[in-house]
Amino acid sequence: MSEHHTRADLFRSLHTPGTPLVLVNAWDAASARIVAAAGVRAVATTSAGVAWSLGAADGDVLGRDAAVDLVRRITAAVSLPVTADIESGYGATPAEVGVTTRAVLGAGAVGVNVEDARRAAGPPLRDVPDQCARIAAVRGAADAAGLALYVNARIDTFLSGAEDVDETVARATAYLAAGADGIFVPGVVDPETIRALVRAVPAPLNVLAGPGAPRVGELARLGVARVSLGSSVAEAAYTVARRAADEALGAGTYGALADALDYGTLNALMK
């Protein structure tokens, strides 16, 4: 069995309802090694953190080549399975999403997130048939390459303000039929709503966690299979940079830098 398939099989096996895979999303090689050293079982990228670190805004602004190069750097930096957030696929058509998928697989990823948010003008969410075609293109590209790939279909009903469980479940059912393996519903934190989604979605459920969300242990009891911290880790890191700048330029002090990982620890992680 190839190294790719070994990692892919491991990654798939980690999606167990009640024993969730906890992903502390990374955005560069250093953050990937930091979370790996902390003991995560897999590494996931955050499209927002990746885009910001490369000088672009999140939301299908970053080019495919830059995004794929970053995935390649992260897969080279860690020995763990890596899943890549590819936003809506870095392509206007399903065929272009397939091109992205082949490139991400070539960069060493064993999983992808594909979202149904529409960043351009128009409705906030893609039509279901359109999104199904894009997911089918991801699955088809992986199958054609003969490489295993965990396809996590992100549904933005709650982030877009719809907060409709029935619509979310209908989309999930369609996306699974199109080739998705798991369902990601960011924006839902109410335990009863999460429980309802776990019961209604016939696949591993991924939720976005952070301040205000249930603890990992409670999410486990609700039957969640995957917990992602998303862009919040990158946001927190950049907040330290802002606080340090404000403090140094204001009070002239350096309290924001207290308790930082020291130079030797960080440098050793990169060797």
Note the pLDDT tens digit of each residue in 12-50.
999 999 999 999 999 999 999 999 999 999 999 999 999
The CA distance from 157 to 185, in Å, is 8
- pLDDT higher than 80, residue 6: yes
- pTM for the whole structure: 0.96
- List the one residue out of 118, 107, 73 whose CA is nearest residue 99: 107
DSSP per-residue string spanning 8-37: HHHHHHT-BTTBPEEE--BSSHHHHHHHHH
Whether 123 has a pLDDT exceeding 90, the answer reads no
Instruction: Report in angstroms the alpha-carbon separations of 82 from 45, 58, 75, 85.
Output: 8, 20, 6, 10
Q: Which domains does the chain have, with CATH numbers?
A: 3-231 (3.20.20.60)
- Say if residue 120's pLDDT is above 90: no
The per-residue pLDDT for 250 is 98
Does the pLDDT of residue 121 top 70, yes or no? no
Question: What is the phi/psi pair of residue 184, to 5°?
Answer: -115, 120
Q: How far is CA 245 from CA 49, 85, 194, 261, in A?
A: 20, 30, 39, 18
Q: Are 107 and 68 spatial neighbours (Cβ–Cβ below 8 Å)?
A: yes
